[in-house]
Amino acid sequence: MNKSRFSGKKLWRIPQQGKVKGVCAGIAHYLDIPVTLVRVIVVLSMIFGLFMFTLIAYIALSYVLEPMPPHAEQATPLRADELLDALSDEMAQNEHKLRQLERYVTSETFSVRSRFRQL
């Protein structure tokens, strides 16, 4: 799992799931967070003094981002529980390798070989 969380993902607009242009839905899909959370953040940013910045960013993103094609949803990345399962499996394999290495280093064979190397 050396890849970044966002590698292979593309930021789209999702008009089918959006209220206005689908920008918030696209951002939510890209970040794997609920779309309601993104909408709440947008509204709060508009209320707390970033109205013009948020509005300009939303309008710019609505023109810059392409709408998500229907086939793009099929290539969704692993879900969080699948990622955790894969990480757990990798950690178990690494723990097994570490135990084997520890067993070898603490064995008689290792101490005998290291003493022969010192001669």
Which residues are CB-contacts of 38 (< 8 A; sequence separation ≥ 6)? 24, 25, 27, 28, 31
pLDDT per position as a tens digit, 89-116: 889 898 998 988 888 888 888 888 888 8
Q: Is the pLDDT of residue 1 over 50?
A: no
Q: Is the pLDDT of residue 2 over 50?
A: no
Strands, E assignment, 22-72 = none
The count of other CB atoms within 10 Å of the CB of residue 28 is: 20
Average pLDDT score over residue span 21-42: 82
- What is the Rg, in whole angstroms, of the alpha carbon atoms belonging to the chain? 25
Q: pTM for the complete prediction?
A: 0.51
**Domain segments of the chain: what residues?**
8-76, 78-119
Instruction: Tell me the pLDDT band of 71, cut-offs 50, 70 and 90.
Output: low
